[in-house]
Amino acid sequence: MKRRITLIVLAAYLLLGCDLKAEIITRTPPQPIVSPTIPVCTPDNKIEPVPIPTIPTEEPIPSETTNTRDIPTSTPFIKNVKGCPSITHIDIGAVIFVPEGVGEINIHSMPDTNVITTIGKANDLDTMKVLEGPECVDYWILWKVLTNAGVQGWIPEGDVEGKFFLLPYPSYQFCEGFRPLIFHQGDKALLLENEANQRIRSEPSLQSSISGIIYKDQTLEIIDGPVCEDGFVWWKIRVMETDEEGWTAEGNKKDYFLLPIIDKTGAFKIR
């Protein structure tokens, strides 16, 4: 008799199983472990999912770039020259260079391509500053330049077939309202031949003390900077002949005072 009563009780529990689970779950809410949702029996025997709240994740913090070599280069300068079929990539005041593989280019005493007016030559990876131009002569575009060797004269940008002998030196915009910068830390430089001997200062400011002088035959190594101050772009330099260190100006808003020296022992890469 007792066994029959026990079986009847068990059968009743089985028939009411879902309602029993609903009551148990109501008393003790389930803990989310693996599944994104957990099915739960409700008092009316319908199964409803219990959502698991999402845990917010931290967003990555972007790293700051301080290396000037990572700054995008300036927009190329391109324009037409009246009377010439080709375009120019150069403007007055720009620093330019002879790409590797071009070879010797004649520099002339006047805007001409005649060999008898040749006064010097530019070679692969030579740098120069543009002084005047352009002049279109017999479909050649010529510019008056001052080279890193101190030669001043007229040089063709390219030939009548559209091949370029000269390109703008890689540059980037850094100081607002200034010409694009051409130097980076680690570069070598020299003073332009048409510039006076240049001062070295203790800090990047006209108010700081003068600690030395740069002469035209000296090579400079860029070791810190740039700093935009008092209308100039300043770099900390080391004079390689004397080991003297201090701050000097690359240029102002309109002009460059220094020319880059390209290391000809290795391949020059456009930055």
Question: What pLDDT, in 10s, does the model give residues 127-149?
Answer: 999 999 999 998 899 999 999 88
Report the range of poorest mean pLDDT among 6-10, 76-80, 210-214: 6-10
Same domain, 220 and 251: yes
What pLDDT, on the 0 to 100 scale, is given for residue 35?
A: 41
C-alpha closest to that of 180 among 263, 68, 269, 100: 68
Please give the residue that has the higher pLDDT: either 115 or 40: 115
Same domain, 151 and 199: no
In a domain, 242, yes or no: yes
Q: Most confidently modeled of 87-96, 168-177, 198-207?
A: 198-207
User: How far is residue 264's CA from residue 271's CA, in Å, rounded to a whole number?
Assistant: 16
In a domain, 77, yes or no: yes
Task: Give the three-state DSSP class for 91.
Answer: coil
pLDDT mean over 231-248: 97
Residue 205 near residue 229, CB atoms below 8 Å: yes
Task: Give the three-state DSSP class for 95.
Answer: strand
Residue 221, phi then psi, degrees to nearest 5? -110, 130
Dihedral (CA of 122, 123, 128, 133) sign: positive
CATH number, domain containing residue 201: 2.30.30.40
What pLDDT, on the 0 to 100 scale, is given for residue 217?
A: 85
| Secondary element (H or E) of residue 232 | strand 232-239
| Number of domains making up the chain | 3
Task: Identify how many contiguous H helices and E strands the chain contains and give both numbers.
Answer: 2, 18
What pLDDT, on the 0 to 100 scale, is given for residue 75?
A: 53
Please give the residue that has the higher pLDDT: either 90 or 194: 90
Please give the residue that has the higher pLDDT: either 258 or 4: 258
Note down the domain range covering 91.
69-168
User: How far is residue 166's CA from residue 89's CA, in Å, rounded to a whole number?
Assistant: 9
pLDDT mean over 142-162: 91
pLDDT mean over 99-127: 94
Predicted confidence (pLDDT) at residue 46 exceeds the cutoff of 90: no
Chosen domain end from 116, 133, 168: 168
Same domain, 156 and 195: no
Predicted confidence (pLDDT) at residue 160 exceeds the cutoff of 60: yes
Same domain, 73 and 144: yes
